[in-house]
Chain A
């Protein structure tokens, strides 16, 4: 892929030859991001593509620090936004770019958009945070798995999951109870994603459809981009 950055890019980092592809999957907790990434990985590897995955807070540098900070009660919004930015920068330089250089398809479970949305809901100017992310490599494709907050709640609870403290925006006091807080918070987050969809060129996918249907759509899109022969029968959507 051609290396394009959202801003000034990275000093001292060679991006002249990146034969791989950076694909981002965005969306709220519970829309099925990790399921779809796993299915895509199996499918691509089955066709002989080398695949690497990455996701928020998985960097060697910051993952411990961020987890610890989230346990405390003093995680300010700007500090949080910058800590997550550090995490992404570390992964871009030490994981994503090396993988792209080796020709991997990199599937990123969330990218800058989740943290921009979270910041915006907490009163951080989106343009400021987008400027901070000027170091970030622009993905070749961003799939946005879109689901409204009522369906999101149903899906999470049906699976026996609990509504997460941060994913419910409990730190910003939107409502006294968890359910209302989650619903309000996710609605605000969704609004931010919708706002970014056009300027950042998201491919928006309706995540209320079945896993099979969503996966089939992802595969069609990726095949069109990577290699049309990927759609030749070699298994079905849930293998």
Chain B
């Protein structure tokens, strides 16, 4: 069961999880910039982005063809394609692979849509176990405030509109994502996710992220000596 056993590849796999508006993507992007500036080989992948599956997902969403089962399966197909093509090769080549969402997203969301939890765990059994899985935990009010305050628009499935919880997208989002948070909390214990308080400022969170990542970097190849990063304050004398 790969998803429950440490992998044997020379690279490192770091994933972020959390509901929409948790700020996980922002944190992962900051981490990516940091690791690249430190001279590490970094590869990035995100949920639902395989070119092989893209048109099918688009068709399904546009024509409203999805059921909980097919929605779950098409995301697993997407994940399998990326796992084979853009996750395993860099891991085997000693890269740091950063993934925005992992199988845990499916365990949380699809379970809320009614899929059987044991079925979901079997479905993603082939997924590599991350070296570090960061769960950015926010309460539902913070998440809604961030989404409403930003440029983000509530998407049909992200708001769980397919579940018919409420005709109002914001209310539906609240109800759906609250259930997703409850699932994440369960999954966190089961799979040993590292929980971060995502209510804090971006900087505070990023410092903690780097502190958690640093021990994983030991022994990893670097392509060049570290350059100062944008967050490192240098005095003119040092320069």
Contact = CB atoms under 8 A, between A and B. Distances in A.
Contacts of A69: 52
Contacts of B125: 128
B188 interface: no
Interface majority SS on A: helix, strand, loop or mixed? helix
A157 interface: no
A93 B66 CA distance: 10
Given A62-B56, A76-B85, A79-B80, A93 B122 contact: no
Interface string B108-151: 00000111101100110110000000000000000000000000
Contact of A7 (B55, B63, B113, B119): B119
A12 B80 contact: no
A49 B65 CA distance: 29
B80 A134 contact: no
Interface residues of A, number: 33
Interface string B24-59: 000000000000000000000000000011011001
A151 interface: no
A23 B52 CA distance: 32
Contacts of B83: 78
B71 to A, nearest CB: 9
Contact of A79 (B60, B81, B113): B81
Interface string A124-157: 0000100110110000000000000000000000
Contacts of A68: 52, 55
B229 interface: no
A1 B80 CA distance: 35
B84 A64 contact: no
B69 A93 contact: yes
A232 interface: no
Contacts of B76: 82
Contacts of B63: 60
Contact of B80 (A9, A61, A64, A78): A78
A135 B69 contact: yes
A8 B116 contact: yes
Nearest to A83: B77
A13 interface: yes
Contact of A85 (B53, B60, B66, B73): B73
A14 to B, nearest CB: 12
B74 interface: yes
Contact of A82 (B69, B73, B119): B73
Contacts of A12: 67-68, 114
Nearest to B120: A8
B101 to A, nearest CB: 17
Interface string A108-130: 00000000000000000000100
Nearest to A85: B73
Given A62-B56, A69-B52, A134-B116, A89 B70 contact: yes
Contacts of A72: 52
A90 interface: yes
Contacts of A134: 116, 119, 122
B56 A128 contact: no
Nearest to A131: B122
Contacts of B77: 79, 82-83, 85-86
Given A78-B84, A93-B67, 20 more contacts: A7-B119, A8-B116, A8-B119, A9-B116, A10-B67, A12-B68, A60-B63, A61-B66, A64-B56, A68-B55, A72-B52, A74-B85, A78-B126, A89-B69, A89-B73, A90-B67, A131-B123, A134-B116, A134-B119, A135-B69
Interface of A: 7-13, 60-62, 64-65, 68-69, 72, 74-76, 78-79, 82-83, 85-86, 89-90, 93-94, 128, 131-132, 134-135
